[in-house]
Structure 1
Amino acid sequence: MPEETRAMVNVLQELQVFSAKRGNAFAQTLLEESIRRLREESFTLVIMGEFKRGKSTFINALLGSELVPTGIVPLTAIPTIIEYGSAPSALVTFENGDSHSISTDEITLFVTEKENPRNEKQVREVRVCYPAELLRQGVILVDTPGVGSVYQHNTDAAYAYLPHSDVAVFLISVDAPVGQSELAFLGDIRQYVHNLIFVINKIDILAPGQLEELLTFTQKVLKETLETEDITIFPLSARQALEAKISGSEEQQKKSRFTDFERRLNDLISGGKSRLVREVTSARALRVISELEMELALWQKAMEGSLEDITEKVARFEKELTILEREREDSIYLLYRDIDGLGRKAEERLRDFRKQVLPVILGQYRNFAREAHGTPKEIGQSLKEKAHELIEIALAEHREQEKQLLSVGIQETADRFFRNIEEIVDRMMTVSSDIFGVSVELAQSKEYILGDRNFSYYFHDFPTFYPPLEDIPGMGLIPGALVKKKLVKTYEDRLVEYFELNCGRTRSNLIEVLKEVATGVAGELRLRADLVSKGLTTALQDALRQREAGEHERQEALAVWQDDTAMIQRLKAVFKESTVNPK
Structure 2
Amino acid sequence: MLEKFAETKKYLVNIFNELQSSEDIDGYIINNSILSDEIHRLKNGDFKIALVAPFSAGKSTFINSIIGKDLLSMDIRAETSVITKISYSEHIKIEISYIQNDKVEVIEKDDFGAPLTYDTCKEVLKKITTVRDEKNEEIIRQVVVYCPLEICKDNVEIIDTPGLFSRHEKHEAITNNIIPQVNAVIFMIDPDSVGEANFTDKIRNYVNSAKNSSLEEDGRHIFFVINKIDVFDAEDIAKARHELEEVLSGIIMKPNIHEVSAYFGMRGKQLRSGDLEITDIQKDRKIKIPDPIDPEYTISGRQITDENALDIIHFSKIRELEKSLGEYLQSKNQYLITDVISSIRNILSDSINKLKFEMKEIYSTIEEDQSIYIEKIDQLREEIESVKVETLANINSLVMRRIRGGISDSSLEDEISDEIQHQLVGTAKDIEREMFKKWSKAKQSINRHNAEEIVETVILEAEDFLVLKVKELVRQSFLNVKKIISVLISDIQQQLNTVTEKFEEAEIKNLGSKMDRIGNLNVDNLVGSTMNNIEREFSSIIVSIAKDCQEKVRDAYDSSVSMVKKKGVWNWLKGLFGAEDYEEKFDLYRFKRELDILVDDLTDTMKNRLMESHVAISEPIFSMSNVIMDDINGEVSKIITNVVKIKESVLVDLKSEMDRNEDEKRASIELKQMKASRVKEISHRFEERLVGLTEEVIEDELSVESPVYQ
* TM category, shorter: 0.5 to 0.7
Tell me by how many angstroms 1:530 deviates. Answer: 3.2
Bigger mean CA offset, 49-58 vs 260-269: 260-269
Partner of residue 227, structure 2:
200
Q: Which of 172, 193, 206 lines up with 1:176 in the alignment?
A: 193
CA contact under 8 A between 2:87 and 2:157: conserved in structure 1? yes
**Aligned equivalents of 1:572, 1:75: Cα separation in 2:** 52
Q: Distance in 1 between matches of 2:135 and 2:426?
A: 30
Where does structure 1 lack aligned partners over 5 or more consecutive residues?
A: 374-384, 470-482
Instruction: Give the C-alpha shift of residue 425 in structure 1.
Output: 4.3
Matching residue within 430, 439, 452 for 2:516? 439
Structure 1 residues 60, 351: closer, same or farther in 2, change over 3 A? same
CA distance in 1, matches of 2:48, 2:624: 29
Alignment of 1:275-290 (within 5 A): 281-290=340-349
Distance 2:471 2:217 in 1: 23
Question: Which of the numbers 272, 275, 281 marks the counterpart of 1:250?
Answer: 281
Distance 1:11 1:243, change over 3 A: closer
* CA distance in 2 between partners of 1:330 and 1:30 (Å): 27
1:88 match:
93
Using the TM superposition, name which of 65-74 and 24-33 deviates more: 65-74
Letter in 1 for 2:70: S
Q: 1:398 to 1:489 in 2, by over 3 A?
A: same
- Between 288-297 and 528-537, report the one with greater CA deviation: 288-297
How far off is 1:352 after superposition? 6.2
CA offsets 1:343-380 (integer angstroms, 9 cap, x no match): 44335545765676589879999998x9899xxxxxxx
Please list the CA deviations of residues 471-493 of structure 1 after superposition, one character each: whole Å capped at 9, or x if unmatched: xxxxxxxxxxxx99999989999
Give the corresponding residue for 2:420: 346
In 1: Cα distance, 2:76 partner to 2:138 partner: 20
Seen in structure 2, the aligned counterparts of structure 1 residues 524 and 148 have a Cα distance that, compared at 3 Å, is farther
- Cα 1:33–1:413 shift into 2, 3 Å: same
Cα distance in structure 2, aligned partners of 1:566 and 1:19:
14
- Asked if structure 2 preserves the Cα contact closer than 8 Å seen for 1:12 and 1:35, the reply is no
Percent identity between the two aligned chains: 13
1:421 and 1:525 in contact (8 A); partners too: no
Q: Report if the CA contact (8 A) 2:352-2:679 is conserved.
A: yes
- What SS is found at the alignment partner of 2:61? helix
Residue 199 of structure 1, CA deviation = 4.0
Partner of residue 117, structure 2: none
- 1:316–1:33 distance in 2 versus 1, CA, 3 Å: same
Residue identity matched to 1:574: R
CA distance in 1, matches of 2:504, 2:56: 64
Spell out the pairing of 1:256-405 with structure 2 (5 A cutoff).
259-260=313-314, 261-262=317-318, 264=320, 281-291=340-350, 304=364, 307=373, 308-311=375-378, 313-314=380-381, 317-318=384-385, 320-322=387-389, 324-333=391-400, 334-336=402-404, 337-349=411-423, 404-405=475-476
Q: Residues 211-222 of structure 1 correspond to what in structure 2 (within 5 A)?
A: 211-218=233-240
Q: Is 1:542–2:542 an aligned residue pair? A: no
Does 2:91 align with 1:60?
no
Q: Is 1:33 matched up with 2:36?
A: no
Give the letter for the 2:59 counterpart: K
Q: 1:354 to 1:442 in 2, by over 3 A?
A: same
C-alpha displacement of 1:81: 4.4
Equivalence for 2:639: 529
Q: Cα gap change, 1:263/1:451 in structure 2, threshold over 3 Å: closer, same or farther?
A: closer
- The answer on whether the counterparts of 1:339 and 1:413 sit within 8 Å (CA) in structure 2 is no
Counterpart for residue 141 of structure 1: 158
Deviations 1:493-524 (CA, angstroms, capped at 9, x unpaired): 99979968964762574366335433443344
Conserved 8 A contact 1:320-1:431? yes
Q: Shift of the alpha carbon at 1:8?
A: 3.6
Change (3 A) 1:130 1:412: farther
**Partner SS for 1:438:** coil
Give the match for residue 380 of structure 1. none
Structure 1 215/16 Cα, relative in aligned 2: closer, same or farther at 3 Å? same
Hey, what's the Cα distance between the residues in 1 that align with 2:376 and 2:192?
A: 83
User: What is the CA distance between 1:29 and its match in structure 2?
Assistant: 0.7
2:533 is matched with 454
Contact 1:82 1:141 in 2 (8 A): yes
Instruction: Say how many residue pairs are matched.
Output: 545
Contact 1:202 1:237 in 2 (8 A): no
In the alignment, what sits opposite 2:408? none
TM-aligned CA distance change 1:492 to 1:218, over 3 Å: closer
Q: Give unmatched runs, 5+ long, in structure 2.
A: 108-120, 290-311, 366-371, 405-410, 449-455, 561-586, 698-710
Provide the secondary structure at the position in 2 that maps to 1:67.
coil
TM-score normalised to structure 1 length: 0.65
Distance 2:140 2:488 in 1: 33
Q: Say if 1:158 and 1:324 are closer, same or farther in 2 by CA, change over 3 A.
A: same
Task: For residue 26 of structure 1, report the CA deviation from its aligned partner.
Answer: 2.4
Over 3 Å counting, the alpha-carbon distance change for 1:449 and 1:34 in structure 2 is farther
Deviation at 1:10, TM superposition (A): 1.8
Paired with 2:36 and 2:53, the residues of 1 have a C-alpha distance of 42
Mapped contact 2:224–2:258 kept (Cα < 8 A): yes
Greater CA deviation, 451-460 or 232-241?
A: 232-241
Q: Tell me the distance in 1 between the aligned counterparts of 2:49 and 2:262.
A: 18
Superposed CA offset, 1:92-121 (max 9, x none): 699xxx99667685799789899699x999
Which secondary structure does the structure 1 equivalent of 2:40 belong to? helix
CA–CA distance in 1 between the matches of 2:630 and 2:397? 16
Call closer, same or farther: CA 1:232–1:529 in 2, change over 3 Å: closer
Residues 231/36 of structure 1: CA separation in 2 closer, same or farther (3 Å cut): closer
Q: Is the 8 A contact 2:384 2:644 kept in 1?
A: no
- Structure 1 residues 218 and 243: alpha-carbon distance in aligned structure 2, compared to 1, 3 A threshold: same
Q: CA deviation at 1:59?
A: 0.7
What SS class does the counterpart of residue 193 from structure 2 fall into?
A: coil
Aligned to 1:572: 683
Residue matched to 1:131: 148
Q: 1:142 to 1:402 in 2, by over 3 A?
A: farther
Cα separation, 2, equivalents of 1:491 and 1:577: 68
From the superposition, tell whether residues 274 and 468 of structure 1 become closer, same or farther in structure 2 (CA, over 3 Å): closer
Contact 2:268 2:313 in 1 (8 A): no
Instruction: Write the distance in 1 (CA, Å) between the matches of 2:514 and 2:395.
Output: 25
Task: State the secondary structure of the residue aligned to 2:192.
Answer: coil
Q: Using the alignment, how far apart are the partners of 1:122 and 1:392 within structure 2?
A: 24
Contact 2:78 2:131 in 1 (8 A): no
Which range moved further: 324-333 or 433-442? Answer: 433-442
Cα distance, 1:551–1:58 mapped onto 2, change above 3 Å: same
CA contact (8 A) 1:24 1:535 kept: yes
Partner letter of residue 530 of structure 1? I
